[in-house]
């Protein structure tokens, strides 16, 4: 039952096999986890590790712009914020524990958050697409990739 709730909350798409369920099975709690998609195969998560309201607003706007970018539906990214009292916040986006971009959110300038979030989402999507293409074109003999 927990898996159904978690998968239902995380994905906007209907669950595989959900149309095969009888209407009363959900009310009786008869659902079986083997009928549901595996969470191991789920992707496209945006993990938000922000602290301030400015950071949360950046993460929300980033997520909206990120979902419109082609090829990002199976990429997992993390948004991390480090606030400072004097200058605002430093927000960075990571992919596979590797920082891709850093952005500054200045204190008291909430109108500037939207363009920064949209530009960051576009940049991260383009950077990850370029890295994926470079990975296909160039053979790297190093077994241990940098930073891991």
Angle subtended at Cα 40 by Cα 28 and Cα 74, rounded to the nearest 5 degrees = 115
Return the domain boundaries, the chain. Answer: 2-41, 46-137
Q: What band does 9 get if pLDDT is binned at 50, 70 and 90?
A: very low
Rounded mean pLDDT, 133-148: 74
Q: In this predicted model, what pLDDT tens digit does every residue of 62-117 receive, in sequence order?
A: 999 999 999 888 899 999 999 988 888 999 999 999 999 999 998 777 888 999 99
- Does residue 25 have a pLDDT over 90? no
Q: What is the pLDDT of residue 44?
A: 82
Rounded mean pLDDT, 26-52: 68
Q: What band does 16 get if pLDDT is binned at 50, 70 and 90?
A: very low
Phi, psi of 99 (to 5 degrees): -65, 130
- Does residue 1 have a pLDDT over 60? no
Q: What is the pLDDT of residue 5?
A: 33
Architecture of the domain defined by 46-137: 2-Layer Sandwich (3.30)
């Amino acid at each position: 039952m927990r898996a159904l709730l978690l998968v239902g909350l995380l994905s906007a798409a209907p669950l595989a096999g959900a149309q095969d369920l009888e209407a009363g099975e959900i009310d009786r709690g008869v659902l079986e986890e083997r009928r549901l998609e595996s969470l191991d195969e789920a992707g496209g998560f945006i993990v938000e590790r922000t602290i301030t309201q400015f950071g949360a607003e950046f993460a929300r706007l980033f997520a909206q712009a990120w979902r419109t970018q082609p090829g990002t539906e199976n990429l997992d990214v993390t948004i991390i914020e480090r606030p400072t009292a004097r200058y605002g916040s430093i927000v960075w986006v990571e992919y596979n524990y590797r920082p891709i971009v850093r952005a500054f959110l200045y204190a008291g300038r909430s109108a500037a958050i939207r363009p920064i979030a949209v530009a960051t989402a576009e940049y991260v999507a383009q950077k990850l697409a370029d890295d994926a293409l470079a990975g296909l074109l160039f053979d790297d003999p190093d077994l241990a990739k940098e930073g891991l």
